[in-house]
Amino acid sequence: MAYEQKPGKCTVWPNEDKREDWHDDYKGQIQTESGEQFWIGLSGPHASRNGKTYWKINLRPQKPRPQQEMDYRDAAQPVRPAYDTTSRSRVTDSGMPVPLDDELDDSIPF
Protein backbone atom coordinates (compact mmCIF):
# COMPACT_ATOMS: atom_id res chain seq x y z
CA MET A 1 0.00 0.00 0.00
CA ALA A 2 1.39 3.40 -1.01
CA TYR A 3 1.89 6.19 1.50
CA GLU A 4 -1.01 8.65 1.55
CA GLN A 5 -0.46 12.18 2.81
CA LYS A 6 -3.16 12.98 5.37
CA PRO A 7 -4.31 16.59 5.78
CA GLY A 8 -2.68 18.34 8.73
CA LYS A 9 0.04 15.71 9.11
CA CYS A 10 3.65 15.76 8.00
CA THR A 11 6.69 13.57 7.99
CA VAL A 12 10.28 14.74 7.68
CA TRP A 13 13.40 12.79 6.76
CA PRO A 14 17.09 13.60 7.07
CA ASN A 15 18.20 15.86 4.24
CA GLU A 16 20.68 13.73 2.29
CA ASP A 17 21.24 16.60 -0.19
CA LYS A 18 22.54 19.00 2.47
CA ARG A 19 25.71 20.68 1.16
CA GLU A 20 25.79 24.00 3.07
CA ASP A 21 25.26 24.87 6.75
CA TRP A 22 22.16 26.93 5.92
CA HIS A 23 20.39 23.95 4.24
CA ASP A 24 17.66 22.31 6.30
CA ASP A 25 18.67 19.29 8.40
CA TYR A 26 15.37 17.54 7.65
CA LYS A 27 12.88 17.92 4.82
CA GLY A 28 9.42 16.68 3.98
CA GLN A 29 5.90 17.64 2.92
CA ILE A 30 2.74 18.78 4.64
CA GLN A 31 -0.82 19.07 3.37
CA THR A 32 -3.23 21.54 4.96
CA GLU A 33 -6.88 20.81 5.71
CA SER A 34 -7.82 22.80 2.58
CA GLY A 35 -5.62 20.56 0.40
CA GLU A 36 -2.71 22.96 -0.17
CA GLN A 37 0.68 21.28 -0.16
CA PHE A 38 3.89 22.74 1.24
CA TRP A 39 7.53 21.72 1.44
CA ILE A 40 8.67 21.66 5.04
CA GLY A 41 12.25 22.19 6.18
CA LEU A 42 13.39 21.58 9.73
CA SER A 43 16.72 22.60 11.22
CA GLY A 44 18.05 22.25 14.70
CA PRO A 45 18.20 21.80 17.54
CA HIS A 46 19.48 25.31 18.24
CA ALA A 47 20.23 26.92 21.60
CA SER A 48 18.82 30.35 22.45
CA ARG A 49 20.71 32.98 24.47
CA ASN A 50 19.06 31.85 27.67
CA GLY A 51 19.95 28.20 26.98
CA LYS A 52 16.58 26.93 25.77
CA THR A 53 16.47 24.53 22.84
CA TYR A 54 14.43 25.37 19.74
CA TRP A 55 13.93 24.16 16.15
CA LYS A 56 13.46 26.24 12.99
CA ILE A 57 10.69 25.28 10.59
CA ASN A 58 10.41 26.61 7.04
CA LEU A 59 7.27 26.20 4.93
CA ARG A 60 7.37 26.80 1.18
CA PRO A 61 4.35 26.33 -1.08
CA GLN A 62 4.66 23.57 -3.64
CA LYS A 63 4.21 25.01 -7.08
CA PRO A 64 3.00 22.64 -9.75
CA ARG A 65 5.59 22.13 -12.44
CA PRO A 66 4.40 23.32 -15.84
CA GLN A 67 3.91 20.51 -18.29
CA GLN A 68 5.72 21.35 -21.49
CA GLU A 69 4.51 19.42 -24.46
CA MET A 70 7.26 19.06 -27.00
CA ASP A 71 6.92 17.37 -30.30
CA TYR A 72 9.96 15.23 -30.97
CA ARG A 73 9.94 16.43 -34.58
CA ASP A 74 10.46 20.03 -33.44
CA ALA A 75 13.63 19.08 -31.61
CA ALA A 76 15.03 17.22 -34.61
CA GLN A 77 14.84 20.18 -37.03
CA PRO A 78 18.28 21.50 -37.94
CA VAL A 79 18.92 25.17 -37.37
CA ARG A 80 19.76 26.97 -40.59
CA PRO A 81 21.12 30.50 -40.70
CA ALA A 82 19.12 33.10 -42.61
CA TYR A 83 22.24 34.02 -44.61
CA ASP A 84 25.05 31.82 -45.79
CA THR A 85 28.10 33.68 -44.51
CA THR A 86 30.55 31.88 -46.78
CA SER A 87 29.04 32.78 -50.15
CA ARG A 88 27.03 35.94 -49.32
CA SER A 89 23.72 34.36 -50.26
CA ARG A 90 20.42 33.99 -48.46
CA VAL A 91 19.24 30.47 -47.55
CA THR A 92 15.58 29.68 -48.21
CA ASP A 93 13.41 27.42 -46.06
CA SER A 94 14.15 24.52 -48.40
CA GLY A 95 17.87 25.03 -47.80
CA MET A 96 18.65 26.36 -51.29
CA PRO A 97 20.93 29.42 -51.40
CA VAL A 98 19.70 32.52 -53.22
CA PRO A 99 22.37 35.06 -54.21
CA LEU A 100 21.92 38.45 -52.60
CA ASP A 101 22.33 40.23 -55.94
CA ASP A 102 19.11 38.65 -57.26
CA GLU A 103 17.11 40.18 -54.40
CA LEU A 104 17.99 43.78 -55.31
CA ASP A 105 15.37 45.81 -57.14
CA ASP A 106 17.01 47.60 -60.11
CA SER A 107 14.14 50.10 -60.46
CA ILE A 108 15.42 52.16 -57.51
CA PRO A 109 17.39 55.10 -58.99
CA PHE A 110 19.96 55.48 -56.23
Q: Provide DSSP, 22-35.
A: TS-SEEEEEE-TTS
Q: What are the residue boundaries of the structural domains of the chain, listed by start?
A: 10-61, 79-103
What percentage of the chain reaches a pLDDT higher than 70? 55
For 31-84, what is each residue's pLDDT tens digit? 888 888 899 999 989 899 999 999 999 999 988 666 666 555 555 556 655 554
What percentage of the chain reaches a pLDDT higher than 90? 27
pTM of the complete model = 0.50
